Amino acid sequence: MATLPKTKPLPGSLLGAFFHAWTWRMAWRDSRQQRGRLSLYALSIAAGISALVGIHTLKTSVQHGIETQAKALLGADLLISSRRPIGEEIFAKMPSEVRKTGRETAFSSMVSIPTGERSRLVQVRAVAGGYPFYATVETEPPEVWGRLQTGGGILVEGALLEEFGLAVGDWLKLGARELRVLGVVKKGVPRSNRFSGFAPEVFIWHEDLASTGLAGGNSLVYHHRSLLLEAGSAKELSAVVSTIMGFFPERGVEFQTPEKRREAVGESLNRVNEYLGITALVALVLGGIGVAGAMHAHLKRRAQAVAVLLCLGCSTHMAFAVYLAQAGALGLAGSGVGTVLGAVLHAVVVVAAGDSLPVYVSPWPEPGITLLSGGTGFLLCCGFSLLPLLQIRNIPPGATLSERPGARMGGDWATRGVCALLVLLVFGVALFNGATPRRALALTFGLSFAFLALAGAAQGLMYLTKRFLRPAWPYLLRQGISNLYRPHNQTVLFLLSLGLGIFLLLTSWGVRTLLVRQMRFDAGGNGPNLYLVDVQPDQVEAVSGLLHAQQLPLIDSAPMVTMRIASVKGRQLEARAARKSESEAAGAQADAQRVPRWVMEREYRSTYRACLNATETLVAGELSSVAGGPDAAVPVSLEQGLARDLGVEVGDTMVLDVQGVLLNARVSSLRKVDWSKFNLNFFMVFPPGVLEGAPQFQLLATRIPAGQTSGQLQRALLGLAPNVSAVDLTSILSTVAALLEKAVRIVQILSGFTLAAGVPVLLGALLNGREQRVRESVLLRTLGASERQVRTILLVEYATLGALSALAGSALAIGAQVAMARWIFHSPPGLDWAWLAAAFFGAVLASSLAGLALSRGICKHSPLLLLRGNG
Amino acid sequence: MYIVEQGISMADPVFPPLQPPVLEVRNLVKTYTEAGSALTVLSDIQLRVRAGETCAIVGPSGSGKTTLLGLCAGLDDATSGSVLLDGQALENLAQDGRAALRGRCVGFVFQNFQLIPTLTALENVLVPLELRGDSAGRPLAEALLKRVGLGERMGHYPSQLSGGEQQRVALARAFVRPPKILFADEPTGNLDAATSAPVVEMLFALNRESGTALVLVTHDPVLAARAGRIISMRAGRIVSEEHTGHGHTA
Ligand SMILES: Nc1ncnc2c1ncn2[C@@H]1O[C@H](COP(=O)(O)OP(=O)(O)O)[C@@H](O)[C@H]1O
Ligand SMILES: [Mg+2]
């Protein structure tokens, strides 16, 4: 004992301590008898992270799916359309990324039954080449779409057969050909013409087109080429698309990409993404609460051991490092398990949901996003466990000598720093989840506010019970209630875990309700699904009478004047085109104000009215309701996208060619239009008092109830006003509706999962403070308290804490839902009181049960045994 | 018997005054302030413990013995006055500096043993060595455990040991790296007479062999009498100090 062995002093810095072998050895040894409890900690992490990973991978897959769905709305990666035939030779030199080329020739023609008794104007679409590439066409009988493109025949809409009184297998006459009706197209053929659909569609094989003799002299033929490209990133695809566009220098060629079609799906799916992001954050923060709670309880148990180490000469850094190592290792293990579970969750949801997913989603989660989510979750969990870990520094070595509580949790700089770090991390995760910076800020602020409010509520509660507890109250009640403020109380713990948990779960459920309601509204809604186009002013009365007779609502009507753009800001269309080709020839930079050609060339159908409709919002200027003086430029309101394409702002002038009459106009306002709603919307809106004299049509909008077709109405129209065409949107709307319905399913599955992951974490948190109560109860028992008395005291405490946490959590959740309904969804809050009540009573019940379970445990054992075990 | 010897030792201090003090307490005051009212727990304590000296602190419960012990070991901050441990003024050291100083020259034995419950007996004994970065101390720890009679129980956890056994493990832990001064707060307070006897024997034997100074807080007059000096406290003050002539025969 006289000769001391050579020693190497332990490192002084935290970093050095963390990487020292002793730290890890000690962390390992220290965990030995705590495995059960530490597994609760690891499980909280695993629960939070599995939700995060599952939601993220699903979100990515679904996003992917939605992109594909948008492609299904177009049927191809690129659609090239022209009024003139597109030369075959161009397709010979297409880039190698083009995998397939489909073709379609579309025109209007009459179709009749072979006897010629009945005929009908239809939109003929002659297709070949496997179009559409991205949508499955539903037909009755099935599979006939493929047969059409190999053997010919004709496919029609159900309404047409109904109108003609024919069945599948009968013959129809189109031009010089008689074609056999192969079947009925129910859904899935994307519309190729931007403004087509004035008549029912019939489909024939492109090879049969020549034999009908119709395509030749028809001036209203559209030629389409649809391209399927090699899969690649959005950037790669758009590069290929612009290369291909370069092959068509001539005027009058239009290009369409899936992005443009996606507008039809509306904002709802963006909200789904946002919702999934919020849910992931909620799951993670719930996990964080579990982590912080479990770590807190663990360290409370280890406080004596830490004090001993300090007495034996261990530095605070070393002691801190031991538990940091423990938390870090467990966090890593929990994250690993959580990541695997999340990947499994992804697979299970994909396999279980099967058809209810919008599109095919691989059951294998994307590895990149899986690892990234797992890593992010790990960081956040470490952040959450730092808060209790920091308390180690406040354990006085003197705790070995007396059991007096040590220094209180201080608002020192390290704690504040960790809080700030946590807030930053939450913000970062919100951003990572796909929120805009503003939204992420709002979420972070909301969460921090809830946290502070609950901590404040806990303090207030302790003050109030201390203040108002009366000695006159029954002993057991008094004992239970005074547990709320006495030393070792669990008030803060309960409000911060149970209260925050209830807040998060209710809020995520509330957002889900808001979202589902909005999507259902978007999907079904009461918007129009059938337009009657080209109604002459003198036919309006008769046509609306017909609608009335068929018990169809006249939802909207608008006058429509066709016009073209003659010049913008004084510059002629021709001059613009000339300048562009000049600059291209010179290889100079593209004209900064290049306007898509079709924007300048196309025919605009404009209306006039004095106010906005429900799907429009003003984004700049004022909507003029008066025309202004006779010589002044006419104020016109432009749709903001068109204004962007034209490069005009409020105050700019343009000249419009209204069927030969030039009209000076000045842009007076810009409107944002929600095109997804299929209301009667227009690129240009004029004030009343200008266009009344111009040749015009009326546009009427009605709604065909679900399950009915427009066949009857169309037949009646034919007799009454043959020039009127019906644009039937029921099939495209049902596609969108189906997509949204599927998205709703996913939202429901995931919110269910969050609930399932969150509840056990909260129940675990309820039991975190049990040791102190067990000890006290055993003492009461040794002092002669009956089993019933102990149970009542515990029940009073736990039920009160549960009720108050639930109350505070629900109140905050109601606030959050009202705020979100108002600022995000622009809808009434639609609070689900039944659900709120269920959550409230559920929480009270759960925490009462926790109290009861505790008392059962105490009463089953002999007091002596427990006292010894707690020594 | 100790009354007789007391007289001798008073007149005849065995330790020559040249031995440097390991612990020197000057004008020590400790006051707790709670809810505005101040409670003075220790007032004006003067104490000097020389190397190898044994010293018992006795007094009624609440007289401030534990508080004094804690302050001497740097486990808490004094309100005023100073504590010099191995020549270093504790009030000038930060928490970690004091911990390092404890690691170098202080040992502890507690009333409630304070073994780390998740470590085995052997691992508990090894902690002070490991904290110094000494990884070759295992044979030494094993030898000490055998010495206190627990050679067969080295792999057992504290919960598997009786109180007396736990306290013997604590003794082994305290002496595995012989400290200059050992603080013991009622080391037999939680043990019955039969169990405490061997613990006390071992405490004094180990103490003698390693030349450690001992500061012992106890209620037990028999135990106190085995120390070379008995300091009596009452209401936060040292009221008497007597030499027994024991404990410095090293
Ligand atoms: N943290 C504290 N706050 C208030 N009073 C304390 C605190 N610690 C000790 N005391 C008081 O100091 C006095 C001395 O306590 P202590 O040193 O434990 O006495 P002893 O060990 O002699 O029984 C007691 O009256 C006790 O109430
Ligand atoms: Mg004491």
Between the CA of residue A152 and those of A102, A182, A206, A274, A290, what are the distances in Å? 16, 9, 8, 46, 65
Lowest mean pLDDT among A66-75, A198-207, B70-79: A66-75
Q: How far apart are CA A847 and CA A797, in angstroms?
A: 9
Task: Tell which residue, A574, A577, A569, has the closest CA to residue A596.
Answer: A577
Distance from CA of A8 to the nearest CA of B (A): 5
How many other C-beta atoms can be found within 10 angstroms of the C-beta atom of residue A446? 17
Written as one letter, the residue type at A527 is G
Q: What is the pLDDT of residue B146?
A: 94
What is the mean predicted confidence (pLDDT) over A445-464?
Answer: 90
Q: For residue B63, how far is the Cα from the chain centroid?
A: 18
Averaged pLDDT of chain A: 79
Q: How far apart are CA A77 and CA A244, in angstroms?
A: 12
Q: How far is the CA of A313 from the centre of ligand 1 (A)?
A: 24
Contact A5 B134 (CB under 8 A): yes
CA torsion angle A834 A835 A836 A839 (round to 10): 120
Task: Tell which residue, A258, A164, A147, has the closest CA to residue A203.
Answer: A147
Task: Report the complex ipTM.
Answer: 0.86
In degrees, rounded to 5, the angle at the alpha carbon of residue B69 between the alpha carbons of residues B68 and B73 is: 115
How many other C-beta atoms can be found within 10 angstroms of the C-beta atom of residue A362? 12
Residue A802 has pLDDT above 70, yes or no: yes
Q: Compare CB distances from A397 to B75, B118, B175 and report the shortest one's residue.
A: B75
Q: How far apart are CA A514 and CA A435, in angstroms?
A: 18
Q: What is the pLDDT of residue B237?
A: 93
Hey, which of A233-242, A540-549, A775-784, B46-55 has the most confident mean pLDDT? B46-55
Q: How far is the CA of B117 from the centre of ligand 1 (A)?
A: 26
Q: Chain A contacts of B99, Cβ < 8 Å?
A: 310, 313-316, 397
Q: How far apart are CA A271 and CA A506, in angstroms?
A: 18
- Residues above pLDDT 70, as percent of chain A: 83
Q: What is the pLDDT of residue A592?
A: 38
Phi then psi for residue A673, to 5 deg, are -115, 130
What is the mean predicted confidence (pLDDT) over A347-353?
Answer: 79
Q: What is the pLDDT of residue B230?
A: 94
Q: How far apart are CA A84 and CA A248, in angstroms?
A: 12
Q: Chain B contacts of A397, Cβ < 8 Å?
A: 73-75, 99, 102
Q: Are A712 and A550 in contact (CB under 8 A)?
A: yes
What is the mean predicted confidence (pLDDT) over A257-275?
Answer: 66
Distance from CA of B176 to the nearest CA of A (A): 8
What is the mean predicted confidence (pLDDT) over A352-371?
Answer: 74
Phi then psi for residue A196, to 5 deg, are -85, -170
Q: What is the pLDDT of residue B54?
A: 92
Helices A787-820 + A500-523 axis angle, to 10: 40
Which among A29, A301, A312, A404 is the top mutation candidate for probing chain B, defined by the most B β-carbons within 10 Å of its own β-carbon? Answer: A312
Q: Are A297 and A454 in contact (CB under 8 A)?
A: no
What is the mean predicted confidence (pLDDT) over A304-325?
Answer: 90
Q: How far apart are CA A38 and CA B147, in angstroms?
A: 36
- Write out pLDDT tens, residues B233-249: 999 999 999 888 765 44
Q: Nearest chain A Cα to B104, which residue?
A: A313
Domains of chain B: 51-75+92-249 (3.40.50.300)
Q: What is the pLDDT of residue A387?
A: 86
Q: What is the pLDDT of residue B11?
A: 39
- Gyration radius (Cα) of chain A, Å: 35
Query: In B, residues 2-31, which contact A (CB 8 Å cutoff)?
Result: none
Residue A101 has pLDDT above 50, yes or no: yes
Q: How far apart are CA A748 and CA A520, in angstroms?
A: 13
Q: Are A484 and A465 in contact (CB under 8 A)?
A: yes
Q: How far is the CA of B187 from the centre of ligand 1 (A)?
A: 18
Q: How far apart are CA A204 and CA A181, in angstroms?
A: 10
Q: How far is the CA of B67 from the centre of ligand 2 (A)?
A: 7
Task: Tell which residue, A553, A507, A563, A502, has the closest CA to residue A530.
Answer: A553
DSSP conformation class of A631: S
Q: How far apart are CA A599 and CA A648, in angstroms?
A: 13
Q: Are A709 and A158 in contact (CB under 8 A)?
A: yes
Contact B99 A31 (CB under 8 A): no
Q: In terms of pLDDT, which residue wins out, A403 or B58?
A: B58
Instruction: Name the strand (E) or helix (H) holding A407.
Output: none
Between the CA of residue A457 and those of A294, A453, A497, A806, what are the distances in Å? 22, 6, 13, 12
Q: How far apart are CA B96 and CA A314, in angstroms?
A: 8
Residue A761 has pLDDT above 90, yes or no: no
- Write out pLDDT tens, residues B118-164: 889 999 999 988 888 887 889 999 999 999 999 999 999 998 898 89
Decide: B66 in ligand 1 pocket, CB within 6 A: yes
Query: Considering only CA atoms, which residue is closest to atom 7 of ligand 1?
Result: B32
Residue B45 has pLDDT above 50, yes or no: yes
Phi then psi for residue B135, to 5 deg, are -100, 0
Between the CA of residue A817 and those of A107, A501, A508, what are the distances in Å? 51, 15, 9
Distance from CA of B54 to the nearest CA of A (A): 20
What is the mean predicted confidence (pLDDT) over B75-95?
Answer: 91
What is the mean predicted confidence (pLDDT) over A789-796?
Answer: 86
Strand partners for A98: A229
Q: Chain B contacts of A317, Cβ < 8 Å?
A: 96
- Write out pLDDT tens, residues A41-55: 788 788 888 888 888
Query: Considering only CA atoms, which residue is closest to atom 3 of ligand 1?
Result: B32
Q: Chain B contacts of A307, Cβ < 8 Å?
A: 114
Q: What is the pLDDT of residue A323?
A: 92
Query: Considering only CA atoms, which residue is closest to atom 20 of ligand 1?
Result: B62
A310/B contact by beta carbon, under 8 A: yes
Q: How far apart are CA B68 and CA A101, in angstroms?
A: 93
Question: Hey, CA dihedral for A310, A312, A313, A317, is it positive or negative?
Answer: negative
For residue B186, give the ligand nearest its CA.
Answer: 2
| Token reading at A589 | 């930079």
Strand partners for A531: A701, A727
How many other C-beta atoms can be found within 10 angstroms of the C-beta atom of residue A15? 10
Strand partners for A127: A104, A205
Decide: A402 in ligand 1 pocket, CB within 6 A: yes
Contact A33 B118 (CB under 8 A): yes
- Write out pLDDT tens, residues A174-224: 888 899 999 988 776 776 654 444 467 889 998 888 888 877 655 567 888
Q: How far apart are CA A72 and CA A68, in angstroms?
A: 6
Whether cis (ω within 30° of 0) applies to the bond prior to A141 is: yes
Between the CA of residue B91 and those of A310, A453, B32, what are the distances in Å? 17, 41, 17
Local confidence band at B43 (pLDDT 50, 70, 90 cut-offs): very high
Task: Tell which residue, A276, A270, A60, A67, has the closest CA to residue A745.
Answer: A276
Decide: B196 in ligand 1 pocket, CB within 6 A: no
Contact B69 A12 (CB under 8 A): no
Helix (H, G, I), strand (E, B) or coil at A488: coil
Strand partners for B48: B24
Q: Chain B contacts of A7, Cβ < 8 Å?
A: 132-134
A306/B contact by beta carbon, under 8 A: no
Local confidence band at A97 (pLDDT 50, 70, 90 cut-offs): confident
Q: How far is the CA of B61 from the centre of ligand 2 (A)?
A: 7
Task: Tell which residue, A220, A111, A196, A115, has the closest CA to residue A160.
Answer: A111
Query: In A, residues 406-425, which contact B (CB 8 Å cutoff)?
Result: none
Residue B55 has pLDDT above 90, yes or no: yes
Contact A312 B209 (CB under 8 A): no
Q: What is the pLDDT of residue A658?
A: 85
| Token reading at A644 | 């962007």
B162/A contact by beta carbon, under 8 A: no
Q: Are B22 and B85 in contact (CB under 8 A)?
A: yes
Between the CA of residue A269 and those of A62, A263, A439, what are the distances in Å? 10, 10, 17
What is the mean predicted confidence (pLDDT) over A359-384?
Answer: 83
How many other C-beta atoms can be found within 10 angstroms of the C-beta atom of residue B182? 25
Q: What contacts B91, CB < 8 A, 6 or more positions away?
A: B77, B78, B82, B83
- Write out pLDDT tens, residues A377-413: 888 888 888 888 988 888 888 888 876 655 444 567 8
For residue B110, give the ligand nearest its CA.
Answer: 2
Distance from CA of B231 to the nearest CA of A (A): 20
Q: Nearest chain A Cα to B70, which residue?
A: A398
Q: What is the pLDDT of residue B47?
A: 93
Q: Chain B contacts of A26, Cβ < 8 Å?
A: 130
Phi then psi for residue B113, to 5 deg, are 65, -50
For residue B59, give the ligand 1 atom closest to its CA: 22
Task: Tell which residue, A594, A673, A595, A597, has the closest CA to residue A637.
Answer: A673
Q: Chain A contacts of B141, Cβ < 8 Å?
A: none
- Gyration radius (Cα) of chain B, Å: 18
Task: Tell which residue, A48, A707, A109, A65, has the closest CA to residue A345.
Answer: A48
- The reply to whether the predicted model has a pTM over 0.90 is no
- Write out pLDDT tens, residues A122-154: 888 899 888 888 777 888 888 888 888 888 899
Q: Is A385 exposed, middle or buried (0-12, 13-18, 19+ CB in 10 A)?
A: buried
How many other C-beta atoms can be found within 10 angstroms of the C-beta atom of residue B84? 18
What is the mean predicted confidence (pLDDT) over A575-588?
Answer: 44
Contact B99 A314 (CB under 8 A): yes
Phi then psi for residue A700, to 5 deg, are -115, 145
Q: Compare CB distances from B131 to A5, A314, A316 and report the shortest one's residue.
A: A314
All structural domains of chain A with their residue ranges: 50-71+269-435, 78-256, 436-520+765-871, 554-702
